[in-house]
């Protein structure tokens, strides 16, 4: 953890609408098929999207009914009365936009949802408290929480570790996970200075409501949850609930909706293994299903069991883990032998850096000669034809080889300087990438020790160099972002 990290501004980030690329096909090729493993919310949602686009979907679910943790099934009481049984109460928070969009397929007005007025938190050890009616957006929701909750007070706020508290306000998917995923949430809260009562009434209540054992929750997951419910949406923690059982209002209608679009259901069909060949082979107790496309929409425990019983995926996961460990050992061994890690994938003795490659990484002009060669000269990038026949014909005739020419605008140059310059240990000059960098992302990644900015340069710290592709993607300013 970085106890002196600086908090990001307490404000909601702007929403960015990603428009579909009009050049992309709107439908898959004819006779495209897929097997979806898992019939919970994720699996059924995947089946909806695929089936609506014309994919022939087969859905496999281990339980006899759909729904997963939101499942419901019919039962007959001893007196013969039919009764639908469920796992328990589930809240439909108002910022569950994607799930609500799926539900609108069966009820455009979501008329089966009703608002829940009360939000009580009840404990055996502490007096109950009510979180009903908190404002939706920050910072008013946090101010109201401190003002109304007997588990939190001014003393807790002033006595907390302000640097760690700032981490709750500075969530970033890449940086937060890198810094806090190996830190237990309980330790984070203890170091934060949260009282036993606040941990029991707020942290444990929320953790258990999401089927998470508090002792198994990481600080990164805790920070993400806090961001998602308190800082990342304008809806707050208000929620609705169905006015009848889930089988009647959700799973029955969704199954009918999908069957009308050709989806085939196999419930009570646990998947035992998954093997790739020319086509995926999905093995179940009732036989094997072969397909070109597989969607795995199962919980982590089931996924671990499935991968453990499969051939290539388990081997690939093992090899990927070994490769990562091997790369870190290579870095340590080469640096220990006096080599300099001067570029993401290159080492050298002092004074022996590749000057040709440095010209490329520094955005200088370079000349490429031969079939498929790339050159950058001035504001043009030339890519010589990769086809041998027209290349040889042009040379024999004394003509320049055919080439595609791309105009390098200042914007393109700045983006490429960021992408290539950060691969170097010396980093990149801030002035050369002005306008291409997301300043908020830069400040946030700096608080987590991933990047540093000093003497007019942006440089990746050691952790950032191991995550260079993700960090560059996070730092790059999106066109639609203010």
CATH 1.10.10.920 domain position(s) in the chain: 353-475
Question: Residue 452, exposed/middle/buried by CB under 10 A (0-12, 13-18, 19+)?
Answer: middle
**In the CATH scheme, what is the code of domain 353-475?**
1.10.10.920
State both tokens at 427: 């980093």
- Annotate 52-76 with b (16+ C-beta within 10 A) or e (fewer): eeebbbbbbbbbebbbbebbbbeee
Checking 17-23 for CB contacts under 8 A at 24+ apart, the result is 17/480, 18/480
CATH 3.50.50.60 domain position(s) in the chain: 33-112+242-308
Contacts with 474 (C-beta within 8 Å, 6 or more apart), sequence order: 172, 174, 175, 438, 441, 445
Length of the chain, in residues? 482
Q: What is the Cα–Cα distance from 38 to 57, expressed in whole angstroms?
A: 12
Q: Print pLDDT tens along the chain (482 aa).
A: 333 333 344 455 555 667 777 877 878 899 999 999 999 999 999 999 999 999 999 999 999 999 998 998 888 888 888 888 887 778 888 889 999 999 999 999 999 999 887 777 787 888 888 777 778 777 787 778 777 787 776 666 666 777 777 888 888 887 888 888 888 888 888 888 878 888 777 777 777 666 667 777 888 888 888 888 878 888 878 889 899 999 999 999 999 999 999 999 999 999 988 887 778 899 998 899 999 999 999 987 788 778 777 765 555 556 556 666 777 888 888 899 999 999 988 899 998 998 878 888 888 888 888 888 888 888 898 888 878 888 899 999 999 999 988 888 998 889 889 988 999 999 999 999 998 898 888 887 888 788 999 899 999 988 788 777 778 877 886 543 33
Fold of the domain spanning 33-112+242-308? FAD/NAD(P)-binding domain (3.50.50)
């Amino acid at each position: 953890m970085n106890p002196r990290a600086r908090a990001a501004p307490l404000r909601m980030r702007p929403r960015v609408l990603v428009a579909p690329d009009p050049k992309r096909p709107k439908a898959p090729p004819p006779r495209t098929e897929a097997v979806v493993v898992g019939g919970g919310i994720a699996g059924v949602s995947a089946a909806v999207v695929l089936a609506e686009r014309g994919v022939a979907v087969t859905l496999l679910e281990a339980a006899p009914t759909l729904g997963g943790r939101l499942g419901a099934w019919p039962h007959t009481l001893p007196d013969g009365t039919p009764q639908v049984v469920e796992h328990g109460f589930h809240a439909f928070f108002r910022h569950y936009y994607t799930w609500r969009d799926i539900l609108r397929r069966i009820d455009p007005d979501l008329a089966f949802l009703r608002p829940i007025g009360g939000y009580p938190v009840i404990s055996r050890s502490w007096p109950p408290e009510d979180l009903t009616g908190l404002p939706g957006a920050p910072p008013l929701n946090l101010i109201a929480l401190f003002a109304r909750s007997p588990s939190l007070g001014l003393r807790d706020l002033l006595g907390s570790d302000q640097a760690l508290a700032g981490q709750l306000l500075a969530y970033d998917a890449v940086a937060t996970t890198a810094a806090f995923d190996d830190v237990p949430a309980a330790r984070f809260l203890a170091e934060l200075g949260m009282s036993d009562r606040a941990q029991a009434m707020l942290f444990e209540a929320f953790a258990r409501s999401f089927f998470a054992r508090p002792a198994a929750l990481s600080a990164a997951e805790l920070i993400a949850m806090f961001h998602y419910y308190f800082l990342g949406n304008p809806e707050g923690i208000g929620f609705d609930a169905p006015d009848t059982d889930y089988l009647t209002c959700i799973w029955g209608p969704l199954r009918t909706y999908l069957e009308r679009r050709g989806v085939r259901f196999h419930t009570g069909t646990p998947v035992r293994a998954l093997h790739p060949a020319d086509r995926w082979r999905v093995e179940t107790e009732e036989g094997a299903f072969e397909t070109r496309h597989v969607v795995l929409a199962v919980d982590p425990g089931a996924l671990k069991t499935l991968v453990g019983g499969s051939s290539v995926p388990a081997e690939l996961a093992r090899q990927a883990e070994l490769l990562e460990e091997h790369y870190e050992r290579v870095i340590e061994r080469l640096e220990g032998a006096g080599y300099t890690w001067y570029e993401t994938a290159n080492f050298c003795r002092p004074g022996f850096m590749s000057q040709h490659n440095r010209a490329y990484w520094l955005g200088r002009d370079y000349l490429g000669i031969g079939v498929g060669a790339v050159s950058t000269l001035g504001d043009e990038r030339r890519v010589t034809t990769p086809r041998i026949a027209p290349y040889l014909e042009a040379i024999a005739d004394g003509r320049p080889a055919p080439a595609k020419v791309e105009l390098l605008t200042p914007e393109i140059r700045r983006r490429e300087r960021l992408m290539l310059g950060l691969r170097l240990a010396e980093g990149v000059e801030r002035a050369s990438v002005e306008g291409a960098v997301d300043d908020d992302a830069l400040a946030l990644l700096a608080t987590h020790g991933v990047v540093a900015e000093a003497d007019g340069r942006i440089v990746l710290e050691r952790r950032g160099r191991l995550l260079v592709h993700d960090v560059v993607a996070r730092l790059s300013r999106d066109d639609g972002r203010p």
